Structure 1
Amino acid sequence: MNNLNDPPRWNINPDTGGRAAAGGGDGNQWNYALLVPMLGLAAFRWIWTRESQKEIQEIRTQYDKDVSIIKSDMEARYRETLTERRKAAAVLELELEKEKQRVKGYKQAMVSQSQQLTEERKRLQKEREALEEDKQRQVKSGAAGAVLQHALEREQDWYHRATATLKELEGQLVERQNAYCSLIQPRDQRLEMEKNILLRVVKDPIGAELDLESDLKDIFKRDKHCADLLNVDRRKNGSLMWVYLRYWQLQVTVKKHKKAEEAILGGKIQFHTK
């Protein structure tokens, strides 16, 4: 019977030394021959792994360093940009505040000027009403009334010329204010219009009598009122100019009566009754 615990040539018996002594070796010698390359391969893998880890660590360290430098540079640039923008914003806020104060000053000046002109207009209106009452009294008094009426008729031509001058000036001021409020009309064109208006007024004797030059300069400097963008009526532009036009018309009426009064008192008009 076969011994199952010791089948033939199934178990590897230790070498008794005979084979080693005889120089034969199909057992341990082959094992040693395979062990040397494996040890070399293991050593190579260990060295390669160690060098690779070292290189990876160096690359990682350099990467962290580069990232830190880039981050620091970006943060510095961000802070610099933020500082510059804050400075620019502060300058703009300061300029805006100055502009607001300037506009506020213009508005206050216009309000004050308008109030003064309104008061002056009321005063002239009262003088006009007083002159009208005096005229009526003079007319009712007979000969004196006839003299006054005659004197007023003599000044009627001057009154018509002055009124026509103001009407023409009104049209010019409407065109000037429209040019000021226009978004497409050049500023130089408006300035040329203002220059021509002043030249005409200076050359006109009636303009000198009414002192229109200084009033016009005040209008060009202070009247900045414009209607809304959808407005098509040019006469809705301007504010101070309309106050001046009413004031000038009252001045013309008052001067007409004063001229007539001066003519009577100066003896230039003599009226004889039959």
Structure 2
Amino acid sequence: MNNLNDPPRWNIQPDPRGRREGANDGNQWNYALLVPMLGLAAFRWIWTRESQKEIQKVKVQYDKDVSIIKSEMEARYRGSLTESRKAAATLELELEKERQRVKGYKQALISQTQHLIEERKQLQQEREALEEKKQRLVKSGAVGAVLHHALEQEQDWYQRATATLKELEGQLVERQNAYCSLIQPRDQRLEMEKNLLLKVVKDPIGAELDLESDLRDIFKRDKHCADLLNMDKRKNGSLMWVYLKYWQLQVTVKKYEKAEKAILEGKTQT
């Protein structure tokens, strides 16, 4: 067996016998092996240096690409931030406009409410004054009898006027429902308003009570609508109901005025 600690002469060793003619030259073989080893070392040094250059080149290109991407990302971020700020400013402006609009609506609603309260107070005062006048006339004996007879003579006009107002009330309810409807055409509502105006102009009672100007005021100012789930048409409108009560009081006052005029002109006798 081969001794691993003392292998055979794989490497060429110097000849202990010295150099003599015909003997093997070990040093020449050592020099022969040294040349490829030096070449291999030089190749490895050159290859390592070139590799380092390539690695350094890749690193420089990588840093350059990262810097470009970073710059682009920062530019996009600044652009997005600018657009977001512009959008936020636009929304804030729109919000402020809506706030001012709501504020204007509130002020208009408060003003309209105050106006309606004043009109209601005035109508109540007129009604109380009329009731007092009626009581005084009733208590006056013969004058009361004359007044009662005169009022009976005006009852036919009163009933016709009341019927006219009742019919007008139904038409106003339909008109306001058309105004509050999301599906009913606007032209249809305008046609309804036109017909109402023509009717009160042609009707002597409408002309006597000056209903045309009141209707135009209703069409212009009454914008009240109930909630979207409302199914009762009579819950729509606000100013129109005040006018209807006012017209009914006007009819009552006109009835007494006509009776008083008939008494003063001697057209009514006890």
| TM bucket, shorter chain | 0.7 to 0.9
Residue pair 1:124, 1:254 contacting (<8 A) in 2 also: no
- Distance (whole Å) between structure 2 residues aligned to residue 87 and residue 186 of structure 1: 37
* Gap runs ≥5 in structure 1: none
What whole-Å deviation, never above 9, does each CA across 1:218-243 have from its counterpart, x for those lacking one?
Answer: 32333333333332221122222222
- Distance (whole Å) between structure 1 residues aligned to residue 100 and residue 81 of structure 2: 28
- Distance (whole Å) between structure 2 residues aligned to residue 92 and residue 188 of structure 1: 31
Aligned partner letter, 1:218: D
Residue pair 2:12, 2:30 contacting (<8 A) in 1 also: no
Name the counterpart of 1:14.
Answer: 14
Paired positions, count:
263
Give identity over the alignment, percent: 48
Name the counterpart of 1:39.
Answer: 41
| Residues 1:28 and 2:18 are matched in the alignment | no
| Residues 1:102 and 2:104 are matched in the alignment | yes
TM-score (normalizing by structure 2): 0.83
What whole-Å deviation, never above 9, does each CA across 1:15-72 have from its counterpart, x for those lacking one?
Answer: 6667999899543213313431x13431342233122122212222222221222122
Residue pair 1:180, 1:190 contacting (<8 A) in 2 also: yes
- Distance (whole Å) between structure 2 residues aligned to residue 202 and residue 181 of structure 1: 26
* Gap runs ≥5 in structure 2: none
Name the counterpart of 1:115.
Answer: 117
Relative distance call for 1:6 and 1:262 in structure 2 (3 A) is: closer
1:152: Cα distance to partner? Answer: 2.1
| Residues 1:218 and 2:217 are matched in the alignment | yes
Name the counterpart of 1:258.
Answer: 257
Residue pair 1:127, 1:254 contacting (<8 A) in 2 also: no
TM-score (normalizing by structure 1): 0.82
Relative distance call for 1:126 and 1:185 in structure 2 (3 A) is: same
Residue pair 1:128, 1:253 contacting (<8 A) in 2 also: no
What whole-Å deviation, never above 9, does each CA across 1:75-107 have from its counterpart, x for those lacking one?
Answer: 221222122112212221221112112211221
- Equivalent residue of 1:184, what SS? coil
Aligned partner letter, 1:31: L
- Distance (whole Å) between structure 2 residues aligned to residue 231 and residue 116 of structure 1: 29
Tell me how large the CA RMSD over aligned residues is: 3.1
2:84 to 82, 99, 120: 82
- Equivalent residue of 2:139, what SS? helix
Aligned partner letter, 2:165: L
